[in-house]
């Protein structure tokens, strides 16, 4: 009996697999559903689906096959839809995405829908459809990439909490104080200065990313309700940043700033901080709050000092491609489980910190060889991802086999002389990327039961057939099987539910 051969565009196989394995999430992006009754019939048999992505599927109407599915999340983006069916409100929909459907008409009975998140982006809109104002449970509305020049008047009469107006030329904010908005996305909207109406409304989440020459006035620091601020890729060079004192999450990534705002240094509530891609020269960053995530990748900094609360709460520290001369108190962290750093940050620690036993991901860059690696390195019992880069590491130590929880292993910047057979002890290893000095026969790696991704050099050398087959299946499933998101995300900010989890008083 031959094994099943997986191809990402074998649409009957995709649908029968989803049906037979009772998938709860399915992506059919670019599937020609609109011209295939057979595929639509198979889709109607996937009775376990709660999440369905029908991005650009050549649809001119919503398939009736969906009517019997218990869908909570439905994406219909970039289809030539016109009138949505009345029966859509019979589905237990929470999220509906209709972006890129400029001709779509919402049914009048949407005022009875259960939808909480509605996406109408890229639909050439200048006003919000009237029925949106009557949707009783709607909390999140995305109007990005349309033609709005002001806060839509209809928003003032709704319970909408989060509004996405990114990539709209918004200049009139006069209606903002009359809304119930908690979050506002103005990414890439062409602002050069901030509207004074922000001061009159208690926003908690604000996205001002991707602006050129953005001026932040002194009154901005008075926004005491603001918890999450994103200035990603907004050029703030040569200007003082007046930031609110109670931010829980702030991204100043690639903002072309040379000094660290004092409000960040003194912030007692900071939990998520991204200062990557900036040159702070020899400055010191002191993190006093209960910070869980710090990103300083591609930055220059004299010293990073972690105060008591940060030592207890820090989970992720990213110093990839950063020039940070000293990390003070790194060994005293309690709960660090994700780390990117230079070799000297780690190998210079006087003692073996307790958190190393819980570390799940490690990215290490430097000029180290096997002789430089301390003995504790091979006792990282919980390590699932390991990424090493050193031109001096030409021999992979046999003790690599002791890292039994490894799922992903990548060794870059060098050419290995051989691969030790102890790798066969890594029975959970999914992906392996190596540079080989000699194209040695490594067909024995097919004996690793979970290995489905193998990158080896020189280029052109194909992995064993068994690994190729596993890779095809893994690619098939990653393209089409939508899994429930892990609650423990690396970048959890930018959503009101993240704020509510840390600041439940904001619900009231």
- Give the list of residues 6+ apart from residue 36 with CB closer than 8 angstroms, or none: 11
For the cut 70, the answer to whether the pLDDT of residue 3 exceeds it is no
446-469, pLDDT tens digit by residue?
899 999 988 765 556 677 888 888
146-202, pLDDT tens digit by residue?
999 999 999 998 999 999 999 999 999 999 999 999 999 999 999 988 999 999 999
- Beta-bridged to residue 433, according to DSSP, are 410, 455
For the chain, list the domains and their CATH numbers: 225-359 (3.80.10.10), 368-485 (3.80.10.10)
pLDDT at 506: 47
CA 422 vs CA 139, 373, 404, 447, 452: distances in Å: 53, 18, 11, 12, 18
118-145, pLDDT tens digit by residue?
999 999 999 999 999 999 999 999 999 9
* Separation of CA 471 from chain center: 23
pLDDT interval class at 44 (50, 70, 90): very high
pLDDT (mean) for 383-400? 87
pLDDT at 8: 64
280-298, pLDDT tens digit by residue?
999 999 998 899 999 999 9
The lowest-confidence range among 58-62, 140-144, 341-345 is 341-345
299-341, pLDDT tens digit by residue?
999 999 999 999 999 999 999 999 999 998 888 898 999 999 9
pLDDT (mean) for 40-55? 97
Q: How far apart are CA 232 and CA 166, in angstroms?
A: 13
200-245, pLDDT tens digit by residue?
999 999 999 999 888 899 999 999 999 999 999 999 888 888 999 8
CB 233 within 8 Å of CB 214: no
CB 267 within 8 Å of CB 290: no
């Amino acid at each position: 009996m031959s094994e099943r051969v997986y191809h990402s565009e074998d649409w009957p196989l995709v649908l029968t697999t989803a049906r037979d394995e009772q998938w709860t999430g399915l992506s059919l992006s670019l599937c020609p559903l609109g011209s295939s009754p057979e595929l639509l019939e198979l889709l109607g048999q996937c009775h376990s689906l709660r999440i369905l992505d029908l991005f650009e599927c050549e649809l001119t109407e919503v398939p009736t096959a969906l009517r019997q599915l218990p869908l909570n999340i439905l994406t219909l983006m970039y289809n030539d839809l016109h009138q949505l069916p009345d029966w859509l409100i019979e589905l237990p929909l929470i999220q509906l995405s209709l972006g890129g459907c400029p001709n779509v008409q919402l049914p009048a009975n949407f005022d009875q829908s259960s939808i909480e998140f509605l996406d109408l982006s890229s639909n050439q809109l200048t006003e919000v459809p009237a029925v949106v104002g009557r949707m009783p449970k709607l909390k999140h509305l995305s109007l990005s990439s349309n033609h709005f020049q002001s806060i839509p008047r209809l928003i003032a009469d709704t319970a909408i909490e989060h509004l996405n107006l990114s990539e709209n030329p918004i200049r009139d904010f006069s209606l903002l104080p009359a809304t119930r908005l908690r979050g506002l996305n103005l990414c890439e909207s062409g602002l050069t200065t901030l509207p004074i109406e922000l001061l009159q409304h208690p926003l908690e989440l604000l996205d001002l990313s991707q602006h050129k020459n953005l001026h932040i006035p002194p009154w901005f620091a008075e926004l005491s309700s603001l918890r999450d601020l994103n200035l990603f890729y907004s050029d703030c060079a040569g200007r003082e940043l007046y930031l609110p004192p109670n931010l829980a999450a702030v991204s100043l990534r690639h903002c072309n700033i040379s000094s660290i705002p004092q409000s960040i240094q003194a912030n007692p509530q900071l939990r998520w901080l991204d200062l990557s891609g900036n040159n702070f020269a020899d400055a010191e960053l002191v993190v006093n709050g209960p910070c869980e995530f710090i990103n300083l990748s591609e930055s220059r900094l004299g010293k990073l000092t972690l105060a008591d609360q940060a030592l207890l709460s820090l989970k992720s520290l990213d110093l990839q491609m950063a020039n940070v001369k000293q990390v003070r108190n790194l060994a005293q962290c309690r709960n660090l489980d994700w780390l990117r750093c230079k070799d000297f940050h780690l190998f210079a620690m006087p003692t073996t910190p307790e958190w190393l036993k819980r570390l799940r991901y490690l990215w290490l860059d430097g000029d180290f060889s096997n002789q430089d690696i301390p003995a504790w390195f091979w006792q990282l019992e919980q390590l699932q991802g390991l990424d090493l880069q050193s031109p001096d590491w030409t021999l992979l130590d046999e003790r690599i086999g002791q890292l039994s929880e490894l799922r992903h292993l990548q060794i870059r910047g060098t050419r290995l002389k051989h691969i030790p057979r102890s790798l066969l002890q890594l029975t959970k290893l999914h992906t392996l990327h190596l540079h080989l000095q000699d194209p040695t026969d490594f067909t024995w790696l097919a004996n690793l039961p979970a290995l489905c991704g193998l990158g080896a050099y020189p280029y052109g050398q194909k992995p064993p057939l068994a690994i190729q087959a596993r890779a095809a299946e893994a690619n098939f499933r990653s393209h089409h099987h939508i899994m429930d998101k892990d609650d423990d995300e690396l970048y959890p900010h930018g959503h009101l539910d993240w704020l509510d989890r840390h600041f439940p008083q904001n619900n009231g």
